[in-house]
Structure 1
Amino acid sequence: MANVVDTRGELPFISAKRRSPAHVAPRPVGTVVKRSVDLVLAAFGILLLSPLLLLCCSALILFSPGPVLFRHRRVGFNGQTFDCLKFRTMAPDATERLQRLLESDPSAAAEWKATRKLRADPRVTLLGAALRRSSLDELPQLFNVIRGDMSIVGPRPVTEEELARYAYKVDAYLACRPGITGLWQVSGRSTTTYRRRVACDAFYARNWSMVLDTKIMLATIPALFEDAAY
């Protein structure tokens, strides 16, 4: 089968030859080649984007009092947990703001339950919203790649609570290092359902190749300019 974007059903699949039923079991997506590519791209990205990293740090220090980095515990390859790094985009009392909103707004509570995201999120600062729209908040994850916690391409990193939603597809998620970008991110990002996100992650694990990774990386560039990150 040629490498194409398949939009059958509700899930768009980027290029990959589907494996026969005898080969659909998730396999560890952590080959030497993939890891080597990750290290080269992450190191080059940090070097190339160092002025932008410093600019983001300076803006946060000046206009958003609090820690520059946000560390959140996520589940990675083989179930190992790690601190996923991001530039902080939320107010210091983010947890309290979320709790108040979910208790007072049923529609927001339903949105949070379905997607684990909120389009109108009271926790996010003005500077944080700008960082999210441009995906600049995720640049520190290049250091996660260097450390071996993450890959350039892979499933979206999830919490232990979210991992329970993967049900029988959990092995597919655990077979990969989480990625800075991935099939879900280039298939609509925040506008997709959580069910679709799980399906994207499982498909990626079962059909991984360097060709698929390359196509996802190339598709990430136009996806960054779409208004779907929040």
Structure 2
Amino acid sequence: MKKKVIAALQFVLEMTLFWGMTQALGIERDMAIRVQVVYFALLLLFCHYKVQTSLIWEEFLLLLKAHLCFIPICIVVLMKHMDPFVIAQSVLLGIVMFVLSLLGSRTIRLCVRSFVREKTLVIGTGRTAQTLQTIAAKNRFAMLDIVGFISIENSRYPYTLSAGCRKDQDVVKENVYPFSQLCQVIEEKQVDQLIVSSSRIDSEYMDEILSLTSGKVNTIRFVPRASGLVTFDSRVDDLNGLLLVTSFRKRNMAMGKAVKRLVDIAGGLSGCLMLLPISLAVKLINMKNGDHDPILFMQERIGKDGKPFQIYKYRTMVPDAEQVLEKMMREDEAIREEYLTNKKIIDDPRITKAGAFLRKSSLDELPQLINVLKGEMSLVGPRPYLPREKEDMGSYYQTVIKCRPGITGMWQSHGRSDVGFHDRLKMDEYYQLNWSIWLDIVILIQTVQVVTGARGAR
């Protein structure tokens, strides 16, 4: 009920703004009414008034689609007037309302967030549950109020948990309740929504959850077991009472790939103009510190379709970094374990003074623009992995190598060095399965935010 009231308030506010804009632009009353009907019909069609958890990028894309439809329809509706001024007014109206609608909807949802958040109980205490907890706390547009977590290990319900499921438990420590108190917690906390965070729960356990919670909550959500197969293009079909999840293989991506390559070339040419002054500054700093070796180095990486290529980077470590690493790993078991687990070392002593700045600012990646121009890399894509990491990539390898590696990607835009090796692989798989030009735009914007905040840079 609260969400409907908020949607109605948003509708009235935007209608008032729209009518005010038509009057300010001097659009005749009859034409203004016709244009207004078209405009709000499109907003309803694109679910603009559905109050739910969504990122600003999703809201932006839906509004953009609605307004891109509105402008040509508006021109057709007003075509009989054959007045370029009237048509220009309508186009301007659409542009202004796009900005006002985006800002208005976000502002309203921020103001009323505490009143419309769904009380959510999470089943599971693993990494996915922890991610949900982080999203609910940090995403200002998440309509989630997580009231607690249910442990899925309890002697009263001795269902078999896989080894992976057991290993993933006990990441979340606070507000955790035993499975036997599931119904009690739902009643006491007045839970609206249930999220089953573990995709490895056996069918008996899931049946028990559904049986116990049926009719007690408004919504039940769960992470699919075959998460790699469920993409943005998936849908649920009813086959005579049998529910099937259909995952589509992407088609007609030639145009998108062509646009991506054109953007890569334009970005590569523009970025290469920055290489000369930065290279000169790095060389001077290195020489001042007694380092007269070349500032660039090449390293073999895994490219598209598994083909090796030489990646260009600013040298941020001492010249004999590999030999130093081997010595460190022989002498210190903790360093060896850290590197084998994460493929990096926190506070790595091999990093030079200039290298520390280059890494923190992510400028060490800039020479990779040469690889972009050569067609070996893209501005956005999976991480360019080392050949020695191929075995550690496991089943992710075949998916990740289907596209060109990128200067930035999902893992760089989500914390860079704060992200573990396995999580990087999952993010790269997600990128490959759900790629679109829009996803690239979002990643580029998020990368700028991460770099300017120096978050996760080491």
Q: TM tier, shorter chain?
A: 0.7 to 0.9
Instruction: Tell me the matched-pair count.
Output: 227
Do the aligned partners of residues 80 and 44 (structure 1) sit closer, same or farther apart at CA in structure 2, a change above 3 Å counting? same
Q: Is 1:38–2:38 an aligned residue pair?
A: no
Corresponding residue to 2:280 among 54, 65, 77: 54
The normalised TM-score by structure 2 is 0.46
CA distance in 1: counterparts of 2:328 and 2:274, whole angstroms? 40
Residue 355 of structure 2: aligned partner: 128
How many Å apart are 1:72 and its aligned residue? 0.5
The question of whether the paired residues in 2 share the 8 Å contact of 1:76 and 1:178 is answered with yes
How many Å apart are 1:8 and its aligned residue? 5.2
Corresponding residue to 1:198 among 392, 402, 425: 425
Corresponding residue to 1:22 among 247, 257, 277: 247
Aligned-residue CA RMSD in angstroms?
2.9
Residue 454 of structure 2: aligned partner: 226
The question of whether the paired residues in 1 share the 8 Å contact of 2:415 and 2:455 is answered with no
Q: Classify the secondary structure of the residue corresponding to 2:300.
A: strand
**For each residue in 1:37-89, what CA deviation from the matched residue of structure 2 results, as whole angstroms up to 9, or x when unmatched?**
10011111222554334323443455422111111100111111111111111
Do the aligned partners of residues 168 and 66 (structure 1) sit closer, same or farther apart at CA in structure 2, a change above 3 Å counting? same
State which structure, 1 or 2, has the greater radius of gyration over its C-alpha atoms.
2
**For each residue in 1:125-151, what CA deviation from the matched residue of structure 2 results, as whole angstroms up to 9, or x when unmatched?**
122112111111111011110011100
The question of whether the paired residues in 1 share the 8 Å contact of 2:311 and 2:368 is answered with yes
Q: Which runs of 5+ in 2 are unaligned?
A: 1-46, 48-52, 59-126, 136-230, 235-245
The question of whether the paired residues in 2 share the 8 Å contact of 1:84 and 1:144 is answered with yes
The question of whether the paired residues in 2 share the 8 Å contact of 1:10 and 1:196 is answered with no
Q: Which amino acid aligns with 2:285?
A: A
Q: Which amino acid aligns with 2:389?
A: E
Q: Classify the secondary structure of the residue corresponding to 1:180.
A: strand
Q: Is 1:75–2:298 an aligned residue pair?
A: no
CA distance in 1: counterparts of 2:429 and 2:377, whole angstroms? 17
Do the aligned partners of residues 53 and 3 (structure 1) sit closer, same or farther apart at CA in structure 2, a change above 3 Å counting? farther
Q: Which runs of 5+ in 1 are unaligned?
A: none
The question of whether the paired residues in 1 share the 8 Å contact of 2:275 and 2:367 is answered with no
How many Å apart are 1:108 and its aligned residue? 1.2
**For each residue in 1:16-41, what CA deviation from the matched residue of structure 2 results, as whole angstroms up to 9, or x when unmatched?**
x723152268x999821111110011
**For each residue in 1:155-197, what CA deviation from the matched residue of structure 2 results, as whole angstroms up to 9, or x when unmatched?**
1100122122222221221111100000011111111111100
Q: Which amino acid aligns with 1:34?
A: K
Corresponding residue to 2:379 among 152, 166, 172: 152
Identity within the alignment, %: 36
The normalised TM-score by structure 1 is 0.87
CA distance in 2: counterparts of 1:85 and 1:75, whole angstroms? 13
Q: Which amino acid aligns with 1:178?
A: P
CA distance in 1: counterparts of 2:308 and 2:253, whole angstroms? 17
